[in-house]
Amino acid sequence: MSNKKIFILLPDGVGLRNFAFTDFYKKRMAKEMDLVFWNNTPFDLAHIGFEEIRLIKKQSGFLLEILKNARKEIELNCNIRKSKDAVYDSYRFPFSYKTLKSTVKSVVTRSVIQLFDSEKGLKKIRTVIKNVERKTHFYMECSALLKVEKPAFVFCTNQRISLAIAPLLAAQDLKIPTATFIFSWDNLPKGTMVVETDYYFVWSSHMKKELLYYYPYINNDQIIITGTPQFENHFEVENIINRALFFKQNGLDVQKKYICYSGDDQTTSPYDPNYLLDLIKAVRKLNDSGSQLGIIFRRCPVDFSDRFDTILEENIDIVTAIIPKWDKVGEVWNTILPTKADSILQLNIVSHTELVVNLGSSMVFDYAAHVKPCAFMNYNPEISNKNWSVDKIYNYVHFRSMPDDAVVWFNSPDEIAAKIELMLSDDVYKVVVNAEEWFKKINQHPVDQASQRIWDSIAEISKKGIC
């Protein structure tokens, strides 16, 4: 039995990009660790040479789903009372009453919220969740496996999946140290913490402060600042294809400079096609005046809708769609899986475009890594519904970390052309510098050493055990 066996728990596909398709796997060799993916994704990691143990997929029980949803709602209520800020209401999803099952679920969840709507009640809910999971067959199966495998550490790649609760509890009950990774920069204000572990790996000191604020039961010495492997691909310069070849492979015009339009999912940006069309019109106007510009459209990898089709077909002279290389193995967003090939594709799109335009996405940091500017769409399309507003998007808590002028704001369709010209000139320098400062605040630098910092921390914890 190796005392350096590390279990990487993949409760869903979200962790693949950070921990299977970066240099994370290779970096463990310097620490002489034995890495095993405890894999609940549909992706066959053994096929690409990784050691894995399949985690038999379990559906969350009815009671667990109720308790998890109630916990989130109570957390948001507590955040509102603590901060006196109604922004946390914007993180709620409406209760469903479409079927008998969903109606029962919603009614029971709301009753639980009413009974336990306080910090004290929240603590009780957390305890009940653990007690419920410890009685499941899934918990017993995980415990039996851990007793046989005896890993030195269990590291969960995602803090928001309820399926991970039982494996992590089983490890803790066997005195095996556990940790979870906060996988996205906007997660903590949303009340998405589902698991509780011995350690928490975060992107930055900014995220550490958030974690201490939203989850006061977590102690300072449980939080480890590592950065995220998410952006490490931008420093793998050996994967950058030369410009001529990349343009040939993707049907691009070597005479043009390209702008990337990075799409969002349908919930975040239901009017993404409108924004893309406005950008196309601005580029056409600039080209009519002598510019040679094109647009690369990279849709959100989990958006398989046909909502862009007509616009792309009618503007083929301006915009080229380069489809993300993700594998679709299910219909919900977390069963659409990233690939290593897409990481390389994204790197090349950033490398061979001048700037990026989107609605508030973290692509601002991908471009900051290349010292290139980002523009945020910042207006409501003429045709929009009352339940969605761009103001709601930029009022989210994670945007409050932004320095002034870290992006170029497209405040109306009429100003896009002029601001693109600005972004293609040296006058955009200050914006890029501010974006880099924002990136440093959001993610620990040097960016390309995140995997190494994670492994250093894993090795240290494996030696000393639970704090």
Give the pLDDT confidence score for residue 331 in this predicted structure: 55
Q: In the chain, which segments carry CATH 3.40.50.2000?
A: 5-58+136-228+447-464, 236-442
Q: Which fold has domain 5-58+136-228+447-464?
A: Rossmann fold (3.40.50)
**For residues 400 and 360, is the Cβ–Cβ distance under 8 A?**
no
Q: Which of 47-51, 226-230, 427-431 has the lowest mean pLDDT?
A: 47-51
pLDDT for 315 equals 98
Amino acid of residue 125? I
**Which pairing describes strands 374-377 and 408-410: parallel, antiparallel, or unpaired?**
parallel
**If 0-12 CB within 10 Å is exposed, 13-18 middle and 19+ buried, where does residue 437 land?**
middle
Is residue 332 over pLDDT 80? no
Percent over 90 (pLDDT), the chain: 83
Per DSSP, the residues of 258-275 read EEEEE---TTT-TTHHHH
Pick the CATH number of 236-442 from 3.20.20.70, 3.40.50.2000, 3.40.50.300, 2.60.40.420: 3.40.50.2000
Q: pTM to 2 decimals?
A: 0.94
> Of the segments 24-38, 217-231, 379-393, which one has the largest average pLDDT value?
217-231
**pLDDT over threshold 90, residue 255:** yes
pLDDT tens string 339-352? 889 999 999 999 99
Locus of tokens 């293609």: 424
CA–CA distance, 442 with 427 (Å, rounded to integer): 25
**How many percent of the chain have pLDDT more than 70?**
96
* Residue 338, pLDDT above cutoff 90: no
pLDDT of residue 419: 98
